[in-house]
Amino acid sequence: MIEPASNSTIDDQRADRVNRADPLAQVSREHGPDNIKAAAETDQHQESQLLAGLKAGDPSAFEHFVRSMTPRLLGIVRRYTRNEQDAEDAVQDAFLSAFKALDSFDGRSSLSTWIHRIAINAALMKRRKDRSRRESSIEELLPVFQNGEHAQSPTPWPSGMAGQTSGDSVTHSTGLSIKTRAAVLDALQELPDEYRTVLVLRDVEGLESKAVANSLGISDASVRQRLHRARQALMKLLEPALVEDER
């Protein structure tokens, strides 16, 4: 019998970010470091068992993996797709892509983080109207400087974006308007893959930089560089929609 692998990485990290609490510290207070270590070892053992079953083609491993991960993946891909049918298709595509690539999965990240990443990409692909459309070059989306100064003065974005109620930022509780959400998702589509993936995993899904680095097999410094560039490129891509709204 294959036990569930831990699949809490992404949502737990976001909960941490949203609630401003440290779940690890809380668990440590409640259960002590020895129990945490034991729990982590159990998770790792269960994940190894599950992975071995999947790689061996064990039908019960596939069934367990699909049954345990589908609800969570469906919830995640709904953030990116236009409708329920696309969400379901994206989850199916993600599992099939993952199973096809099982042999190349090297265990740097957890199985759940790996398939989350695949599912997000599948969802974004569903959203893409013209799959042959060329992605923008990152260089042409970055700010231009002349003699160290902004070549063009940035335009202030409206302060009342997306139904926010106070301050300069959109709060988690208010969320985005439908129009703004569509603009952000469309802008994400324009980013080159390697930048979009980092931005989505870090800023949307809430993974820590180290987890993103492990998942993608790149250094933490590369994650940070890509993240910074992706944010700047997204600013450039979002600007027409946001500034137009203000007029």
Partner 1 sequence: MRPSETPIGQPAKDQSASEGPASPRPPCPKAAGSVSCQHCVDFLLDYFEGTLPKDQRFTFDSHLAFCSDCAVYVQNYGKAMALTAGLALQRPSSLPGPVPTGLVEAILDASKVQRG
User: x/- string (CB under 8 A) for partner 1, residues 9-48?
Assistant: -----x-xxx-x-x--------------------------
- Is 222 one of the binding residues for partner 1 (CB under 8 A)? no
- Is 206 one of the binding residues for partner 1 (CB under 8 A)? yes
CB of 38 to partner 1, least distance (A): 26
Residue among 29, 33, 129, 153 that touches partner 1 (CB under 8 A) = 153
- Is 156 one of the binding residues for partner 1 (CB under 8 A)? yes
N residues, the chain: 247
- Is 185 one of the binding residues for partner 1 (CB under 8 A)? yes
Residue count, binding to partner 1 (CB under 8 A): 69
CB of 71 to partner 1, least distance (A): 5
Tell me phi and psi for residue 174, to 5 degrees: -85, -35
Q: Which is nearer to partner 1, 44 or 78 (CB)?
A: 78
Please state the three-class secondary structure of the chain as a single string: CCCCCCCCHHHHHHHHHHHCCCHHHHHHHHHHHHHHHHHHHHHHHHHHHHHHHHHCCCHHHHHHHHHHHHHHHHHHHCCCCCCHHHHHHHHHHHHHHHHHCHHHCCCCCCHHHHHHHHHHHHHHHHHCCCCCCCCCCCHHHCCCEECCEECCCCCCCCCCHHHCCCCCCCCCCCCCCHHHHHHHHHHHHHCCHHHHHHHHHHHHCCCCHHHHHHHHCCCHHHHHHHHHHHHHHHHHHHHHHHHHHHC
Token pair belonging to 190: 């324009």
- Is 218 one of the binding residues for partner 1 (CB under 8 A)? no
Q: Which is nearer to partner 1, 44 or 142 (CB)?
A: 142
Alpha-carbon gap, residue 152 to 194, rounded angstroms: 27
- Is 51 one of the binding residues for partner 1 (CB under 8 A)? no
Q: Which is nearer to partner 1, 170 or 218 (CB)?
A: 170
One-letter amino acid at 73 equals L
User: x/- string (CB under 8 A) for partner 1, residues 89-128?
Assistant: --xx--xx--xx----------------------------
Q: Please report, as ranges, the residues that interact with partner 1 according to CB under 8 A.
A: 14, 16-18, 20, 22, 57, 59, 62-63, 66-67, 70-72, 74-76, 78-80, 84, 88, 91-92, 95-96, 99-100, 143, 145, 147-150, 153-157, 161-162, 167-170, 172-176, 180-181, 184-185, 199, 203-206, 224, 227-228, 231-232, 234-235, 238-239
